[in-house]
Structure formats: C-alpha cells, structure tokens
Amino acid sequence: MNHSSDAIEMDASCLIVCQGAQVSKTIKKLAEERSIVVITTPHDTFTVARLINQSIPVKYFMSTENLTSFNTLDYVEMVKEEMAKKRYRDFPVIDRKGDVYGLISRRRLLEASKKRVILVDHNEKSQAVDGIEEAEILEIIDHHRLGSLETVGPVYFRNQPVGCTATIVYQMYRENQIKINETIAGLLCSAIISDTLMFRSPTCTGIDRIAAEELAELAKINIEELAQDMFQAGSNLKGKTAEEICFQDFKKFTVGDVTFGVGQINSMSRDELQEIKSKLLPYMEKARQAQQVDMVFFMLTNIIQESTELLCCGNGAREQVLEAFDLSDDIEEIMLKGVVSRKKTIDTSFCNLAAAVGGYRWEKQSWKPGNMIYPLPAVMVSAGNAEGQTNILTIAWTGTICTNPQCYIYQCVRNVIRIP
C-alpha cells in the first residue's frame, strides 16, 4: 500500500503489482484520478523486471493512421465487403462518441443473425428500409398491389383490397381478442381517415368505414373534426423546403427496366396547392436525379374538389401521362377530375405506362401456317362489320380439316365456323 501510494505520488505512468496481490479501491481511485495504468501479474519482482527489458513498446509496431474500423450503425453487408479487402483478423468498432465499443472478427461476422422484420403497408423492395436484402422477413401486412419483393422462405402474407392497412391491423386485433387502448385506437382511426381521405377515396370500402367508426368510439373522437384538423395540419408546409415537401409522401416503383417515383400532397385549399406547385416545379429534376429514377410524378390533390393536378418530370413523362389518361396534347395543366387515390388510379396507370416504356407492351403475334393443334391452344374468334361494330367469342373445340391449304374447324356452343 505504501509503495503503491509513493509511486502514485511520484507521478509514475504505470504501476505493476507483482505476485497477484490485490489492489485496494483507494489505490485504484488515486491511479484513475491521475490516469496511471495499473497492471497486476502473478510473477515475482525479478521476473517482471526481466520481462520488461525483453518487451517491445506497442507504439513501435502499432498503426495510428488510416485505421480500418467500423461504426456500430454500419450494415453487415458493408462490413463484409470491407473485411474482404483486408487481411486483418479483428477490427475495432467505434460508437457515436468516437470511443472504442469493441472488436469484431471474421468468425463472428459469419455467425451474425439476421434482423427479423415485418413489412406493414408495403411489399416492394424499393419502398423498404435499406438493407432489407439482409433481413429475415417474417410477415407482410399490406393492401397494395404485389411488388417485386422476394423472400428466402415462406412467410405469412396478408393482403386485402381495403382502403387502409390500419383496417387490416384492426381486424387482427379483434381476431386475436386483444383489447385496444384509447391511444392505439386513435392512431388506427387517424390512419384510415388519412388513407381514405375521410372515405372519399375510390379504394375505400364499407369495411374501412365500419372500422373507423368503431375505433373512433373507442378513442372518444369525432371523425369529421379529426379529419379537418389532420388535413389542415398535413398541408401546412410553411417553412419547409422543396425537398421536404417532395419526399413527405413519396414512393418508388420498378416495372421491368423502368423506375419511377410518385409523390402526393393533400390539401383543402387551392391557393395552398398553387404555392406548393411553385416550390416543386424547379426542384423535380433534381429529385429525379437524386432518386436515380427515369420519371417523377407529383400529385397535388384537392380534397374538397376531389381532383388532382399532376406534375411530371423526366424524358417522355408528360407524353406517357397524356396517353395513359387519354388527354389532349395541347393542355397546359394536367388536371385529373375525380382522382384522389394514388394506389388505385395513379399507381395502376403509371405501372401500365412504365410497362409500355420498358418493352412490356402486349403485342399481336403472327404464327406461320402449321398443324399446331396439340397442345390445345386457347382460341378466340373476333368479327366486325363496316359500321365498326365488333364482337369476340371463345371456342369450345378446334380441329384440323386440311393442312394445305391451311384450314381449321372451330366449334362454339351453337355454331360451326369454318375459317380458311
């Protein structure tokens, strides 16, 4: 104790305690206050002195610059890629404060367990969180179209044609007989009101309305008053930049080789939508480049008038929109009457036009003459007259009369039609 305290008083850099002796709390405290390193060893004093002379200071072979380290928030895939470039066995891990959190080795990385996630209100890879490829997807609860997401194994998948995923979540609460508290009921009800635009959206169903009314009763709220407050707050974008407005409600889609993004803002004020439009138009090209998509579309939806002005950006974007919605080429503003839903109207139309741009257009195929009856093809016969009236019917049976000249016989329910 006395020797140790004397060494501390002399400002020693390191204190070595021999023969496995215990270091008292007082000595530890004094050493910590003066940043003195304390080392305990089972060796005697002579052995320690001999080993010190044979030791090499760590600083002689320790690197202090260009260190390969990882952060506690780094993704496993990035860590694997970086480790493959180095021949080190262990790597330091640094926390947010810049302090060493620990070490990670190659062996530990191989044993790393995947994050387990449940996707709610989306099922497309482009809309999921970064690193979803490395996660284990347990469930998908959604009400959108089926996307391009693939899973390693089978998952619980629940997709219903309702106006809001919160409606499905409410059903799951009831199916599992779980009591919903007032806060959760208010959140679920708010989600249904927002997603269905207070039951104005074409995606809204009677199931959504019933669920919202039951949740409103549990949460002790008035649906109309809540809806008005929500829409006013949601469209109040004062002080927000064009970037914040653009990506407030923005989704990316991929169809074939074409990628595009769709954003939407709902408002009860036409003047407010015009103000938002003036901010967005100069920014849309920058947003397209930042998101690395072919086209960007933005919906300025007027809830009261139940209409949407559509802004578009990208090579051929405007032309594709005019074709998708059968609009005239000479219009200045693209106004879509009765369109308030991105899911049912906009997303479907955009996916169809993207499929056309990406080469997924359905085209008529001409087959060379041949005796191709097996396997039996699906046969349909169309007809028309000079007045432009057309019709089509399916064929119950088909067979070959002659192969040269080519002639088939088709039979429907009541008629036999011979077509050379």
- What does each of the 420 residues of the chain score in pLDDT, given as a tens digit? 566 677 777 888 888 889 888 888 888 888 888 888 888 999 999 999 999 888 888 878 777 788 888 988 888 778 888 888 888 888 899 998 888 899 888 877 777 777 889 999 988 887 888 778 778 899 999 998 887 777 878 889 999 999 999 999 999 999 999 999 999 999 999 999 988 888 888 889 999 999 999 999 999 999 989 988 888 777 667 778 888 888 888 888 877 778 888 888 888 778 888 888 988 999 999 999 998 899 999 999 888 788 889 999 998 888 888 887 888 888 888 998 888 777 655 556 656 555 554 444 445 556 555 555 544 556 777 888 878 788 887 776 676 666 566 555 555 544 444 444
**What amino acid is encoded at 228 in this protein?**
Q
pLDDT of residue 125: 80
22: helix, coil or strand?
coil
The pair of structure tokens assigned to 255 is: 């169809």
CA distances from 316 to 44, 294, 296, 313 (A): 83, 9, 11, 8
Tell me whether the omega of the peptide bond preceding residue 154 falls within 30 degrees of 0, making it cis: no
Edge to edge, the sheet with strand 406-411 lists 397-403, 406-411, 416-419
CA distances from 133 to 66, 302, 330, 339, 366 (A): 30, 38, 45, 35, 42
Cβ-contact 380, 394 below 8 angstroms: yes
Q: Which of 131, 109, 129, 111 is nearest to 120 (CA)?
A: 129
The pair of structure tokens assigned to 58 is: 């760590």
pLDDT of residue 415: 45
pLDDT of residue 172: 95
Q: Which of 272, 283, 289 is nearest to 246 (CA)?
A: 283
Q: What are the φ/ψ torsions at residue 353 (nearest 5 degrees)?
A: -70, -30
pLDDT of residue 275: 86
Q: Whole-model pTM above 0.75?
A: no
242-357: CATH superfamily: DHHA2 domain (3.10.310.20)
Q: What share of the chain is helix, strand, coil (3-state, %, to 5)?
A: 35, 25, 40
Question: Looking at 180-294, which runs of residues are DSSP E strands?
Answer: 250-255, 258-267
Start-to-end C-alpha separation, the chain: 113
**What amino acid is encoded at 149 in this protein?**
L
Query: Domain 2-55: which topology?
Result: 3.40.1390
Rounded Cα distance between 409 and 121, Å, is 51
Rounded Cα distance between 76 and 65, Å, is 24
Rounded Cα distance between 332 and 366, Å, is 40
